[in-house]
């Protein structure tokens, strides 16, 4: 039990330790990924209750700090759940799969036309991450690749991502509409 409890503390400590005004996100991802790879079973056991809740997409706060600003979250993804294309309010961020597998489509938004261009597709298994460096024009869409299992992911953001923008594309014209503000609620706080 002790080990299962400690792994969240370890992930939180790594995220906070590597948070600066301009963090080295590749390094943070490598350090977090190493722990996730090493202790995948402990992690799945510790977080089993989040996978069994079946309450829809849930965001759990693991840590937050003011200076430099950072928030660390665990997200629970219902089977097949897909987000809208969304930005991160200009914050830097790192998103890493803990349990299961996520697909991420990354986009770059044209500052003049508002059009979004697909930049890449990634498939993230446990310990795999994607990150962005506080670019206002970066957006992405994430999906749980499983039809049956809840996936879990770790998110580290350079601030409190309470508000962001979602983007929609008209099927008839292929045009991206003006961004829509969204609010993200917390399901609760996770203790280490």
Known binding residues for Fe cation are: 86, 88, 140
Structure tokens at 51: 């996978």
Distance between alpha carbon 22 and the CA centroid of its chain, in Å? 18
Give the DSSP H/E element, type plus range, for residue 37.
helix 25-38
Q: Give the separation between CA 104 and CA 8, rounded to whole angstroms.
A: 24
Classify strands 188-189 and 58-65 as parallel, antiparallel or unpaired. Answer: parallel
Q: Give the separation between CA 108 and CA 115, rounded to whole angstroms.
A: 8
Cis peptide before 115 (omega within 30 of 0): no
Comparing CA positions, the residue from 64, 40, 33, 82 lying closest to residue 158 is 64
């Amino acid at each position: 039990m002790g080990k299962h409890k400690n792994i969240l503390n370890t992930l939180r400590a790594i995220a906070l330790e590597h948070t600066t005004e301009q963090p080295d996100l590749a390094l943070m991802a490598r350090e977090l990924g190493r722990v996730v790879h090493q202790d995948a079973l402990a992690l799945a056991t510790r977080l089993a209750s989040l996978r069994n809740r079946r309450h829809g997409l849930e965001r759990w706060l693991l840590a937050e700090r003011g200076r430099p600003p950072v928030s660390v979250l665990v997200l629970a993804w219902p089977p097949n759940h897909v987000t809208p294309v969304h930005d991160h309010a200009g914050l830097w961020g790192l998103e890493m799969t803990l349990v299961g597998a996520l697909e991420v489509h990354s986009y770059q938004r044209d500052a003049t036309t508002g059009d979004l261009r697909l930049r890449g597709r990634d498939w993230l298994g446990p310990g795999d991450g994607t990150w962005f460096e506080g670019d206002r024009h970066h957006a992405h869409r994430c999906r749980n690749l499983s039809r049956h299992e809840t996936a879990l992911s770790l998110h580290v953001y350079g601030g409190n991502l309470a508000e962001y923008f979602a983007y929609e594309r008209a099927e008839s014209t292929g045009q991206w509409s003006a961004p829509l503000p969204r609010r993200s609620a917390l399901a609760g706080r996770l203790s280490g």
